[in-house]
């Protein structure tokens, strides 16, 4: 009877030991599998992140290559403009390059004072029998004066920038015609919106509301972009 009890106790002990061993193996296997899954997910995220970085680098390389390819074409067009006789005759200074006329025609900043000086000293002077009654150049709102940005007319694109001005001059018909010819021949792009001529006792009064344009300079710079994981 004692031998049977002893054998049962040993058998039970072996079963308990086997259960503990199996539990340990299952726990170790679960830990290994869990770690493997976590590592696999991490490697997958890193792979996707690296793919995003490579895609952004490829886009940057394509942009740089495209810009590099058009440089010879731009250089050729600039050399052609340097030989343009119409531009050469419009240079402000003999030492200026011919393409400087284009830059003068469309300045890079909203300098309304310079436009007013050009109107007063070049376009509206030197005309026999002409008298300047008034001249007003409006500062560009949001650039030269406080307030919201100037609203561009619906007929213009969002990239167009304008300076509004108006003036009144008096004189005979020939003098007024000469003023209009000066505006037409100006290298600055001038768009006349309102033109009104009134007859007075011995002269005529012409009132003009118009606008000139400028284009802010474009800057080329390399920037850093953060790619979100």
Report the SS3 class of residue 92.
coil
> 226: phi > 0 → left, psi -120 to 50 → alpha, else beta; which?
beta
User: pLDDT-based confidence at 175, cuts 50/70/90?
Assistant: very high
User: pLDDT-based confidence at 153, cuts 50/70/90?
Assistant: very low
Evaluate if residue 10 carries a pLDDT over 80: no
- What's the pLDDT at 145? 64
What fold characterizes domain 100-214? Answer: Alpha-Beta Plaits (3.30.70)
CB 149 within 8 A of CB 142: yes
d(CA 195, CA 212): 15
The residue with greater pLDDT, 134 or 111, is 134
CB 133 within 8 A of CB 171: no
d(CA 15, CA 71): 84
- pLDDT tens digits, 96-124: 788 777 777 788 888 888 888 888 888 88
DSSP 218: P
Evaluate if residue 157 carries a pLDDT over 60: no
- What's the pLDDT at 20? 77
- pLDDT tens digits, 68-77: 898 899 888 8
Percent of the chain with pLDDT over 90: 19
Q: The pTM is what?
A: 0.57
């Amino acid at each position: 009877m004692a031998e049977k009890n002893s054998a049962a106790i040993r058998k039970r002990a072996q079963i308990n030991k086997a259960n503990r061993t199996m539990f340990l193996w299952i726990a170790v296997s679960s830990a290994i599998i869990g770690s493997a899954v976590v590592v696999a997910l991490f490697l997958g995220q890193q792979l996707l992140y690296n793919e995003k970085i490579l895609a952004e680098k490829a886009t940057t390389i394509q942009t740089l290559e495209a810009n590099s390819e058009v440089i010879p074409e731009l250089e050729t067009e600039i050399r052609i403009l340097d030989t343009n006789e119409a531009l050469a005759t419009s240079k402000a200074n003999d030492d200026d390059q011919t393409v400087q006329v284009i830059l003068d025609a469309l300045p890079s900043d909203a300098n309304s004072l310079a436009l007013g000086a050009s109107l007063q000293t070049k376009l509206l002077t030197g005309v026999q029998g002409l008298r300047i009654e008034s001249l007003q150049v409006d500062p560009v709102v949001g650039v030269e004066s406080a307030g919201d940005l100037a609203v561009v007319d619906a007929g213009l694109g969002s990239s167009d920038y304008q300076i509004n001005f108006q003036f009144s001059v008096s004189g005979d018909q020939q003098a007024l015609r000469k003023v209009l010819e000066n505006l037409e021949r100006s290298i600055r792009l001038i768009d006349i919106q309102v033109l009104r001529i009134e007859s007075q006792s011995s002269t005529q009064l012409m009132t003009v509301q118009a606008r000139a344009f400028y284009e802010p300079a474009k800057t080329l710079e390399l920037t850093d972009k953060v790619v979100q994981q």
